[in-house]
Amino acid sequence: MLRPRVSPCLLIRNGGLVKTRQFGEDKYVGDPINAVKIFNEKSVDELIVIDIDASKNGVEPDYKLIKKLADESRMPLCYGGGVMSVEQVQRIIQLGVEKVALSSALLEAPDLATRLSEVVGRQSVVAVLDVKKSFLKGYEVYIGNGKVKVKGGLLSWLDSLQTQGVGEFLINSIERDGMQGGYDLSLAKLVKQNVSVPVTFLGGASSLDDIGNLVETVGLVGCAAGSLFVFKGKYRAVLINYPSFDEKFKLITERLMKYEQS
């Protein structure tokens, strides 16, 4: 049976792991290679790694770090940050990364998705959409670490990027980032109803129950989280963690059955 993916999302700044709140207040949480080693032992479905400064600062991806991550990882790896061209994506894939995530590059030139899908395959092209709810205009898309609003609403970008050849969406709620108040289920339902490719949701998870709520609401999707897998307890003590296979399987199977029966 197909099951939703549960994916830790690690943010990199200046070569170290950080965790943010609403794209600010970043807290250092350790070394990325050590985190990968720990997740290797926990049978993680997929690991997402995003360099949150590379695109903002207009610098090349850190290929040395990417190679170290790919060499160490025994799970599927998705990398994003500073990726702007077909050549960069090819190089990253050649280093052993399964998927490459792009944000501003696709929003500035949507036809890039078409060229990428022709070269590396649609399944390896992930569009990251950082979104925030507007009082009057619904959900809107932002770049520049959530600072610059992009013209066109979320639904318009979902349609355009799917048509151009994006193979997956990573939908990140700016308002829920690091707040640990649960996923934006209204956002999840809206996106799921308007995409025909795989989608992963990020932003807000504080417990396995939040993941269960997401699965029960929208079914077969990717469930990504940062704080949930790097912090423990109300004081946010740093502890890399991930649910056991049995714990995750039981939770997701039960919630997926409720979704299918609804």
State the pLDDT at residue 25. Answer: 84
* 3-state SS, one letter per residue, for the chain: CCCCEEEEEEEEECCEEEEEECCEEEEEEECHHHHHHHHHCCCCCCEEEEECCHHHHCCCCCHHHHHHHHHHCCCCEEEECCCCCHHHHHHHHHCCCCEEEECHHHHHCCCHHHHHHHHHCHHHEEEEEEEEEECCCEEEEEECCCCEEEEEEHHHHHHHHHHHCCCEEEEEECCCCCCCCCCCHHHHHHHHHCCCCCEEEECCCCCHHHHHHHHHHHCCCEEEECHHHHEECCCCEECCCCCCHHHHHHHHHHHHHHHHHC
Q: Name the active-site residue from 26, 51, 130, 177.
A: 130
Contact by Cβ (8 Å): 127, 168: yes
State the pLDDT at residue 192. Answer: 97
The mean per-residue pLDDT over the stretch 108-135 comes to 95
What residue numbers bound the domain in which 123 lies? 5-261
The mean per-residue pLDDT over the stretch 130-159 comes to 92
Q: For residue 172, what are the β-bridge partners?
A: 130, 202
pLDDT tens, residue by residue, 3-57: 899 999 999 998 899 999 888 888 899 999 999 999 999 989 999 999 998 877 8
pLDDT tens, residue by residue, 94-107: 999 999 999 999 99
Q: Which residues contact 164 (CB under 8 A, 6 or more apart)?
A: 106, 110, 111, 112, 113, 114
Average pLDDT of the chain, as a whole number: 94
State the pLDDT at residue 56. Answer: 76
The mean per-residue pLDDT over the stretch 145-163 comes to 94
* Residue 73 scores a pLDDT above 80: yes
CATH number at residue 79: 3.20.20.70
Is residue 209 annotated as a catalytic residue, yes or no?
Answer: no
* Residue 1 scores a pLDDT above 60: no
Instruction: Report in angstroms the alpha-carbon separations of 22 from 61, 173, 204, 214.
Output: 23, 8, 10, 20
* Residue 144 scores a pLDDT above 70: yes
Cα 111–chain centre separation: 22
Which of 153, 142, 152 is CA-nearest to residue 177? 142
State the pLDDT at residue 235. Answer: 79
pLDDT-based confidence at residue 120 (cuts at 50, 70, 90):
very high
pTM of the model: 0.95
State the pLDDT at residue 108. Answer: 93
Domain tally, the chain: 1
